[in-house]
Amino acid sequence: MGTNYIGQPQVRTDGRLKVTGQATYAGEFTARDLVYGYVVQSTIGRGRITSIDTSRVVAVPGVRKVFTHENLPEYLKRNSADYSDPLAPPGQPFRPLHDAEVLYNGQPIAVVFAETFEQARHAAALLWVEYAEEEVQPLLRQNLDGATREDVPDPPTARGDTDTAFAAAAHTIKVEYSQPRHFHNPMEPHATVAVYKEDGTLDIYDKIQGVASSQQYVCGVFGLDKKQVRVVSPFIGGAFGSGLRPQYQLFLAVLGATELKRPAQVTLTREQMFSFGHRPAQLQRFRVSTDAKGRLTSLDHTSFGETSRFEKYNETIVAWTGLMYDCENVKLDYQLVPVDAYTPNDMRAPGGVTGMWALESAMDEMANAAGLDPLAFRLLNYAERDQNEDKPFSSKALRECYQQCAERFGWKDRPTQPRSRQEGNELVGFGMATGAWEANQQKASARASFSADGQLTVGTATADIGTGTYTVMSQIAAETLGLPIDRVVFNLGDTDLPESPIEGGSWTVASVGSAVQSAVRMLSLRLLELAREYFPRRFKHAELGDVTFSDGFMQAWSSEPLELTGLLEKAGKEIVSVGVDHSPRKDRGDYSTYAHACVMVEVRVDRDLGNVRVERIVTAAAAGRIINPKTAENQILGAMVWGIGMALEEEGLVDHRSGRIMNANLAEYHVPVHADVQGLEAIFVEEHDEIVSALGAKGVGELGIVGVPAAIANAVYNATGVRVRELPITLDKLL
């Protein structure tokens, strides 16, 4: 295969490090004299701390310090704006240990630092706290009266007249969908090790999807200069949005390090992973109509999402309704409902999977009402243009996704009547849904160096949240300079590297990959300039387009190939380096850019017990050029598993009296296990798109979950004749 890697199923370049335990995650960094912090959380949902007694805590051997709001250094209390981070929503960011006020149940109210983790944990249990408790209203439905549009970005503008169209329609539905709060539980809990150095600078190892976010936060809060704060984050054991904003353990670890003048570590427990950020509970109302043939004539969608009382976290939920189908009359509304909880945060396909679970359920209901097959209904109402923005799509192979998915899945064998097929004691149902996700590209910078020993080193401050960034970037770099991939070193997750956007929004391959390609291209041009100078006979008149780079050599036309290491030797250079800033193409904004998918599901539902089993799922995805089919498939499959969890299992149970999360552990917060996951298949539909990114790549990180919950709900309806509009679809709702 020579040195062609793009489009190949390259195995993970960091795989060996991970499976042999040599990949170091944030909480595993160590330093001499490290102190361990343990967090104490509030046990009430709203009110004030009236007394906090640390006397028994500090008496425990090994304890070095307890921080509470009573002894937080004054300078850390001065200005709330300093606590913001690049992704902070409107409002006032939460300030840990700032004052006696309790804003939510599980809020960090103290941190104990000791010589060992066990000493800190034991001592933390001895903290005595008294509260003046106030009435707690943690639930969305309790607080609907407080729904507001203030600080909420406007949804896409209404078009046409939905009232008139609805009144005149042949078929109509009016329905409401809801989903509970979902919690992030990546395998690696959030952790920070902050290493304080004698000159007052800090090296920080943090779990974060973009090191610049942590750096900006720490500089703001602690009044430090960028040069004094280096943030490093080489490996992340899953994040999916939980690591977009710096979390409170970063503040607490840096507090410990700067006050004790020692390295300090704070790792959250699994239970504490339920104490920050979550996918918000949501209530969505739909009013939809079609003409006699089943063509959509109106779409009315209003969504109510919970947020905290101190920040306005918002999502794109209703925008999808105006985008996905051809419809002249559309009205969208989105409101936030403040509750006594921490601010929600992004969770894989934020807004998209929430909006599409409801929209794609509604489309299934509408197809039934109009007497059409759900696939035929979608093809009939196919959007050729983005009507929200009145723009053409840069590419949209959704029709091909529908076709290929239907063929692979065997959609034609679908039971046309609900509750009409039974095998043994199980009811069988087929369901489908559309998936889509934004194909964004951000500005990114990268540096590439070729050294005399034959190694290509590329660096940019992106992250690898487990998605395969190391691997994909190494593929792009290796192919572009024509080197075997084992001669490429790709560095990420370090504020000393060139700037990169956070790893989120599924834009890393398009953004950072294009920057890496551009940097290595620039490097090859530098090498050509050297070749023109030192090997003029072969290269004097060569332009970049005349030269091929392959297997460690460069060759102009069909002249004798020149080994790159030989070039550096002759030129007397140890290293050749270039840095580039890469931006999306200028006319990109003239187009609407999305990745698309079709999901088809077969479920089996026990006729007597009502429990749902997913028998198989096929996803056909169109996401531009696929750089690595192996890691891309892995993203889609993982997202499908998550979609099963969202449809059937995940539910953060909130005690309405206290705001406490009652199932803050992985025994009671249910997620799919091996027995729940079978028959998953992902196929990629070809797409050529030169507008979306220089590489032609869209992202696949989030796309895979978007259609899954609705496809499962629709299959459950097909199997049982019961329409469940409230997630998760547990057996009680089917009996």
Q: Residue 190, interface with ligand MOS (CB under 6 A)?
A: no
Q: Residue 348, interface with ligand MOS (CB under 6 A)?
A: yes
x/- track of binding to ligand MOS for residues 203-222 (CB under 6 A): ------x-------------
Q: Tally helices (H) and strands (E) across the chain.
A: 18, 30
* E strand map for 85-244: 101-102, 108-114, 128-133, 171-179, 182-183, 191-196, 202-206, 229-232
Angle between helices 469-481 and 514-534 (to 10 degrees): 30
Q: What are phi and psi of 452, to 5 degrees?
A: -60, -25
C-alpha closest to that of 597 among 618, 617, 629, 621: 621
Q: Which is nearer to ligand MOS, 39 or 510 (CB)?
A: 510
Minimum CB–partner distance for residue 215 and ligand MOS (Å): 19
* E strand map for 84-180: 101-102, 108-114, 128-133, 171-179
Q: Which is nearer to ligand MOS, 233 or 720 (CB)?
A: 233
Q: Residue 584, interface with ligand MOS (CB under 6 A)?
A: no
- Which of 505, 552, 638, 645: binder of ligand MOS (CB under 6 A)? 505
- Which of 27, 277, 504, 704: binder of ligand MOS (CB under 6 A)? 504
Active-site residue (options: 328, 687, 702, 726): 702
d(CA 450, CA 398): 41
Angle between helices 352-370 and 629-648 (to 10 degrees): 70
Minimum CB–partner distance for residue 477 and ligand MOS (Å): 24
Q: Which is nearer to ligand MOS, 65 or 348 (CB)?
A: 348
Q: Which is nearer to ligand MOS, 239 or 372 (CB)?
A: 239
The tokens for 456 are 């290509």
Half-sphere exposure in the Cβ direction for 654 (13 Å, CA): 29
Q: Residue 241, interface with ligand MOS (CB under 6 A)?
A: yes
| Residue 50 CB neighbour total at 10 angstroms | 11
Q: Residue 313, interface with ligand MOS (CB under 6 A)?
A: no
Minimum CB–partner distance for residue 372 and ligand MOS (Å): 34
Active-site residue, 479 included: no
- Which of 139, 252, 330, 347: binder of ligand MOS (CB under 6 A)? 347
From the centroid of its chain, how far is CA 213? Answer: 15
* Segment near ligand MOS (CB under 6 A); pick from 74-82, 157-165, 340-348, 490-498: 340-348
Q: Residue 188, interface with ligand MOS (CB under 6 A)?
A: no
* Segment near ligand MOS (CB under 6 A); pick from 119-127, 344-352, 356-364, 576-584: 344-352
Q: Residue 240, interface with ligand MOS (CB under 6 A)?
A: yes
- Which of 259, 346, 360, 633: binder of ligand MOS (CB under 6 A)? 346
Q: Which is nearer to ligand MOS, 460 or 714 (CB)?
A: 460
**220 in Cβ contact with 93 (< 8 Å):** no
| Residue 21 CB neighbour total at 10 angstroms | 8
Q: Residue 493, interface with ligand MOS (CB under 6 A)?
A: no
* Segment near ligand MOS (CB under 6 A); pick from 71-79, 83-91, 129-137, 233-241: 233-241
Minimum CB–partner distance for residue 347 and ligand MOS (Å): 6
d(CA 462, CA 479): 20
| Residue 198 CB neighbour total at 10 angstroms | 6
Minimum CB–partner distance for residue 703 and ligand MOS (Å): 12
Q: Residue 350, interface with ligand MOS (CB under 6 A)?
A: yes
| Residue 674 CB neighbour total at 10 angstroms | 7
Q: Which is nearer to ligand MOS, 279 or 582 (CB)?
A: 279
d(CA 69, CA 98): 5
**462 in Cβ contact with 508 (< 8 Å):** yes
Minimum CB–partner distance for residue 451 and ligand MOS (Å): 34
Residue ranges binding ligand MOS (CB under 6 A): 209, 239-241, 244, 346-348, 350, 504-505
Q: Looking at the annotation, which residues are catalytic?
A: 702
